[in-house]
A and B are shown apart, each in its own frame.
Chain A
Amino acid sequence: MTYLKKSPWLLHYDASSCNGCDIEVLACLTPLYDVERFGIINTGNPKHADVFVVTGGVNEQNREVIRNIYEQMPEPKVVVAVGICAASGGVFRECSNISGGIDQLIPVDVYVPGCAARPESIIDGIVKSLEILEEKRIQMKERAKQKEQGRSPGGGER
């Protein structure tokens, strides 16, 4: 089934952004943009989330936090890097404490451009990520099936 596409739950984390993208992510939830139309909810809890929305680049302190949150999300999951900072570090690329985009740490599926990214493009990015989410779900299911076959006595060697 394709329930995943109809009910993606977000988790937003501000890695080291200037707030511009963050408030635009929030603005998506509010009456003008209202992403709940598409079933999108901001959960605030990695264990419930499907889509990890990261803004801002990686620095020393949040490195482990991002990885930790990513690991606590159940499969299938996608990462959307919102804003130019999350993609490459953006204007802060050369700052003393920034080591670049999110993709150094975790696999990013969709990059949303902009400084700050506009709500329209953020929504677009998330909708794009849903296709990938669906693909990942199918892969996950196949993996599980293979594992199952591997375990059953007639299913070949382990």
Chain B
Amino acid sequence: MKPENQELRVIDTAHLIGEVEDYRNKGYRLVNMSCTRAGEEFEISYSFELDLRFENIRIIIPLDADISSISGIYWGAFIYENEMHDLFGVHVRGMNIDFKGNLIRTTVPYSFRNPSFRGEGPCQDR
């Protein structure tokens, strides 16, 4: 097995659009967007790939901040952004197709936002 090299850069929120446009101009494709809660912040990662070069950029935002959509650059990004909104409650400005919270309806709103149980211990009882 040949493990692939993955680059990860944390960038400033303000530079996001510029960076993404850069990737687009270089011909990278958008592979993934994902959100992770780390303490009182969200880490939002954008992954790109071109000819097996896999690169990630990451922005770190406070829980109640909103981010701007990259769906104007990568048309298909709306699906990740809507998902992120529905699961984490991240507000994304300017999506080309906005489901307004109806892409994934969940029992608990923004169910990934507040982890209910974490750590060692019995886990079978709810």
> A96-B112, A96-B116 are known contacts. Are A60 and B126 too (CB-CB below 8 A)?
no
For chain B, which range describes its interface: under 10, 10 to 19, 20 to 34, or 35 or more residues?
10 to 19
Question: Are B107 and A99 closer than 8 Å at their CB atoms?
Answer: yes
A45-88 vs B, Cβ < 8 Å mask (1 yes, 0 no): 00000000000000111000000000000000000000000000
Report A122-157 CB contacts with B as 1/0, cut-off 8 Å.
000000000000000000000000000000000000
Collect the chain A residues with CB atoms within 8 Å of residue B104's CB: 61
Decide: A96 and B111 in contact? CB cutoff 8 A.
yes
Answer whether residue A30 sits at the interface, using C-beta atoms and an 8 A cutoff.
Answer: no
Complex CA distance for A99 and B104, rounded to whole angstroms: 16
Q: Is B38 an interface residue (CB 8 A)?
A: no
Cα distance A62–B13 when bound, in Å?
A: 37
Using a CB–CB cutoff of 8 Å, the interface residues on chain A facing chain B are 59-61, 94, 96-97, 99
16 A-B interface contacts by CB (under 8 A): A59-B107, A60-B105, A60-B106, A61-B104, A61-B105, A94-B123, A94-B126, A96-B106, A96-B107, A96-B108, A96-B111, A96-B112, A97-B107, A97-B108, A97-B111, A99-B107
| Residues of B bordering A, CB below 8 Å | 104-108, 111-112, 116, 123, 126
